[in-house]
Structure 1
Amino acid sequence: MLCGAGMLIGVAATPAQAAEVSYATECIPPAISGLPPVQGTTKVEITAPAEAKVGDEVEITWKFVQAASKNPDILDLEKDTVQPTGTLKAAGAQTGDIAMQGTRTNPPIPKNSDMKLSDMKGKLKLTAAGEVTLTPDAYNINVNKPISTDTKCSPKETVQKAATIKVTDGGGSSGGTTGGLPTGLPTLPTGLPTLPTDPPTGSSSASPSEGETGGDTGGGSSTGGGDSGGGGGQTEFTGKEVQVPYQCKTPIGDKEATSPVQINAKKNGGSFDLTVQFKKSVMDSPADIPADSVKPSMEVALGGADTGTVHVEGPTNSEPIKSGDPIEIPDLTGTYKPGASGETTLSPGVLTVEALGTTTTCTPTKSEVSLTLDTTEQASGASGGGSGSAGGSAGGSAGGSSSTDGGLAATGSDDNSTLKALGLVAGTAVLLGGAVFTFMPGRRLR
């Protein structure tokens, strides 16, 4: 009984204390998001021993009572994908920064719902007698899927101390008959690795892919509307590079960009195999991007003798793309089956980018003809109608059809090279950032 009483006295001498503080916070979203800083309020609870002695190593817990914002209405966060780290300031008898880290454990976090952050823990070796105060400081939120991004949050006002440890000299109070047990409560150490910094941004100029000058030696030409389309003669046609102004609808707002695009064709019986190339690298990858996460497609607009559209698309990226590396997207391909006879123009049309579970749609604000072909109407061709047509048929080509568009022309050859560009349009990069941005106040969402 006496021994038991001594143990109780020893524990009672070092009760754990928990105190809650709140402070105005500014959070900087990932650089790839293009979003402005977010203002919010952080509420945390700090738990630490009330008393300890010099030489003790004490464990401290940081609990998020309220994060500075909600998960925005863009992407559901999967289970166990969010990890917080932060800094706790020690002052008074000893000063220093205490590294805090939470586990990557969280429930699924739906769009437009409260963030769920794990408790962070850290340890402090006590080196001087007196009072040591503990104050929350900056913290970081890392989300590792679908790509790794960091949101950095820091106080925007003076933060009140959240806990105080009374540290006694370890030389004179360990003996005695009753209550003579040590007052410090040892704890297990925890590893405190730091998270990677924000992914770099920037742009690079990769060389544009070189178009082959294909075609028979007797029929090749660099201008459209040549001697092909019916039979014999030229079989490969190289379109001219045109600057296409796009207006894009993304999950995080409207964006505008201009991209250089070229349409090439290769005669295949009565049809044409189309290849659409984006001819210039716009930027390097702003973050690590997993495989099979970006898929582009386009509706090539027909004009002149024929009407309708031809669907072309490229496969998703087969390999993960590291931050800072050029993003390589294969050419967009499809088959055009003419629905009318005569000169038909081909222009870059509506571009769709599916990335990380979201969709961005980009519509040209101006029609720019890249290629002109001499076409002969085929059964079940694109759309039909117009001068020189035998009447035209409804329906879609093997590549698909929908709306109408058109313009003037130019021609050339096929090129199967890949383009080094995330910049199908500038909005694509913003889309990737917006899809993983995890810190935005509810009022901004509304």
Structure 2
Amino acid sequence: MSAAVVALLLGGAGIAITASPAQAAEATFKVKCVPPAGGGDPVEGETTAKITAPATAKVGDEVDVAWETVKPASNNTDLMDIPKDAVQPTGWITVGGGGAGELKVVGEKKNPPIPKKAPMVMSTMKGKLKLTKAGKVTLTPGKYDVAVTFSFGTFVTKCAPTGEVKGGATIDVSAGTSGGATNGGATNGGAANGGADGGTTAGGGGQTDFPGKPVEVAFDCGPVVPGGIKTPVTINAKKNGGSYDLTVKTAKGAMAAPMALPAGALKPSMNVKLGGADSGTVKVSGPANADPIPDKAPVSLSDMTGTYKPGKTGKVTLSPDQLTIDVTMAPGATPINVPCKAASSGVSLELDTTAQAGGSGSSTSTTGSTTSGGLAETGAEDEGGIKALALVAGTVILLGGAVFTFTPWRRLRGTR
């Protein structure tokens, strides 16, 4: 299992509820849905959307508009069940005729559990539209995003029409009191996951949490992993005074230990590369496994954390760089380092920063702090005759030969 589970989000949106009197009209159109990095290939399907809005109104009114999916573009995949209250859709309705622009409608994060291959179920997407001109206002469904939140992170699939969309609702707007405002936006919570698509996150406005997006990273581990590793990595940030606490999220992962491993055997770390206004790297690291790991037992690496203190003012990008796993088989033994260089990477997060005294801006690293807790334990997965060490679902995934193909296990047993 990996971030490929997010390809499941190929549906439309939920149940429409609007004020009465209202009228509804359907539109059937083809869409192309693109999952997040590492979530698989784009998928095309056909969806039927029902747009509900008042049949008549007057200038100056603010009316309720809703989007219901009569037929989703696809079902859930066969990879993973979707938990209860995990799905949040966001849609954009094209406003034409007597109005002009785009209306954003947002649904609640509310759904029943969705089994593998079952039809997607999503909540009402609602928004309010301010009417400013007399005439017929057309409402046509367009692109939409679907965000699913698992215990290990939130992932967004983006869907957009592949051709002309015909149909939708029409409001007959009569002259009345002057509106004076432009077409309104959503009133039900805003974007499904603002940081997931990598948008700029400003440091002001009271915002403290800045979620990153999963980016596909190609790691070159030399002879350790022939062919290297391609996997998504996600960097999240939380503002802490003038600095940012960074977290490279891991997940319930998959590895069958090639032998019994003692407590403290596996400790991950990573360099986060700064770009844009700032430069250098920030080191994040995670705690080693707190408990011994039996032979063939499933494990995953811990979350990696550290602190970024800006040295420059401006827009700063954060990208995954080198991953290192330290393997220590006995207390006091010299750790064996498994370095994996990021041969290709991408920006997971962008921050608007303000320079701090003693901040970065050079090639020196900021030492990362660690968090408490052990390694998550879930199922394992065969790859090339051995079980691979993995960070799963929007994190680093060590597939194929994995890091343990290089390790001199017999010598390590002797060390123990």
| TM-score, normalised by the number of residues in structure 1 | 0.49
Q: Secondary structure at the match of 2:38?
A: helix
Mapped to 2, the partners of 1:316 and 1:92 lie a distance apart of 55
State the AA in 2 paired with 1:165: I
Alignment of 1:316 onto 2:313: no
| TM-score, normalised by the number of residues in structure 2 | 0.52
Deviations 1:110-153 (A, max 9, x none): 01110001110011100001110100000001011142111101
State the AA in 1 paired with 2:380: T
CA 1:358–1:98 in 2, change beyond 3 Å: closer, same or farther?
Answer: farther
Equivalent residue for 1:69?
74
Equivalent residue for 1:297?
256
Deviations 1:394-413 (A, max 9, x none): xxxxxxxxxxxxxxxxxxxx
C-alpha contact 2:233 2:396 (8 A) present in aligned 1: yes
Equivalent residue for 2:26?
20
Mapped to 2, the partners of 1:360 and 1:205 lie a distance apart of 20
Equivalent residue for 1:164?
170
Q: Secondary structure at the match of 2:167?
A: coil
Mapped to 2, the partners of 1:40 and 1:50 lie a distance apart of 30
CA 1:360–1:123 in 2, change beyond 3 Å: closer, same or farther?
Answer: same
Q: Secondary structure at the match of 1:294?
A: coil
What residue ranges of structure 2 are gaps of 5+ in the alignment? 1-19, 179-183, 198-212, 237-247, 260-293, 307-317, 331-374, 387-394, 403-416
State the AA in 1 paired with 2:160: S
Equivalent residue for 1:108?
113
C-alpha contact 2:103 2:129 (8 A) present in aligned 1: yes
Alignment of 1:190 onto 2:196: no
Mapped to 2, the partners of 1:426 and 1:123 lie a distance apart of 50
Equivalent residue for 1:201?
215
Equivalent residue for 1:3?
none
C-alpha contact 2:298 2:380 (8 A) present in aligned 1: no
Work out which of the residue numbers 374, 399, 405 in structure 2 matches 1:425. 399
State the AA in 2 paired with 1:293: K
Q: Secondary structure at the match of 1:20?
A: strand
What is the CA distance between 1:192 and its match in structure 2?
A: 4.4
C-alpha contact 1:51 1:166 (8 A) present in aligned 2: yes
C-alpha contact 1:62 1:121 (8 A) present in aligned 2: yes
Equivalent residue for 1:217?
none
In the TM superposition, 1:45-60 aligns within 5 A as 45-60=50-65
What is the CA distance between 1:193 and its match in structure 2?
A: 1.3
CA 1:287–1:27 in 2, change beyond 3 Å: closer, same or farther?
Answer: farther
Mapped to 1, the partners of 2:251 and 2:139 lie a distance apart of 46
C-alpha contact 2:218 2:228 (8 A) present in aligned 1: no
Work out which of the residue numbers 84, 88, 92 in structure 2 matches 1:79. 84
State the AA in 1 paired with 2:155: T
Work out which of the residue numbers 346, 357, 361 in structure 1 matches 2:382. 361
C-alpha contact 1:298 1:332 (8 A) present in aligned 2: no
Deviations 1:63-88 (A, max 9, x none): 11121111100000000000000100
Between structure 1 and structure 2, the one with the greater Rg is 1
State the AA in 2 paired with 1:319: D
Equivalent residue for 2:283?
none
Mapped to 2, the partners of 1:141 and 1:27 lie a distance apart of 10
C-alpha contact 1:88 1:137 (8 A) present in aligned 2: yes
CA 1:22–1:77 in 2, change beyond 3 Å: closer, same or farther?
Answer: same
Q: Secondary structure at the match of 1:135?
A: strand
C-alpha contact 2:298 2:377 (8 A) present in aligned 1: no
Work out which of the residue numbers 110, 115, 121 in structure 1 matches 2:126. 121
C-alpha contact 1:56 1:125 (8 A) present in aligned 2: yes
CA 1:296–1:19 in 2, change beyond 3 Å: closer, same or farther?
Answer: same
Deviations 1:163-204 (A, max 9, x none): 1101111059xxxxxxxxxxxxxx998244123333242437
Mapped to 2, the partners of 1:121 and 1:75 lie a distance apart of 28
C-alpha contact 1:297 1:311 (8 A) present in aligned 2: yes
C-alpha contact 1:327 1:422 (8 A) present in aligned 2: no
Compute the RMSD of aligned alpha carbons. Answer: 3.9
C-alpha contact 1:297 1:332 (8 A) present in aligned 2: no
Work out which of the residue numbers 95, 104, 107 in structure 2 matches 1:99. 104
CA 1:327–1:57 in 2, change beyond 3 Å: closer, same or farther?
Answer: farther
Mapped to 1, the partners of 2:324 and 2:302 lie a distance apart of 9
CA 1:22–1:426 in 2, change beyond 3 Å: closer, same or farther?
Answer: farther
Q: How many residues align?
A: 253
C-alpha contact 2:92 2:104 (8 A) present in aligned 1: yes
C-alpha contact 1:136 1:159 (8 A) present in aligned 2: yes
Mapped to 2, the partners of 1:332 and 1:127 lie a distance apart of 66
Mapped to 2, the partners of 1:76 and 1:314 lie a distance apart of 20
Q: Secondary structure at the match of 1:94?
A: coil
Mapped to 2, the partners of 1:160 and 1:293 lie a distance apart of 43
Mapped to 2, the partners of 1:427 and 1:56 lie a distance apart of 63
What is the CA distance between 1:297 and its match in structure 2?
A: 3.5
Equivalent residue for 1:229?
none
C-alpha contact 1:312 1:334 (8 A) present in aligned 2: no
CA 1:314–1:36 in 2, change beyond 3 Å: closer, same or farther?
Answer: closer
State the AA in 2 paired with 1:150: V
What residue ranges of structure 1 are gaps of 5+ in the alignment? 1-13, 173-186, 209-240, 246-256, 260-281, 301-309, 336-353, 366-420, 429-446
CA 1:356–1:126 in 2, change beyond 3 Å: closer, same or farther?
Answer: farther
C-alpha contact 2:24 2:52 (8 A) present in aligned 1: yes
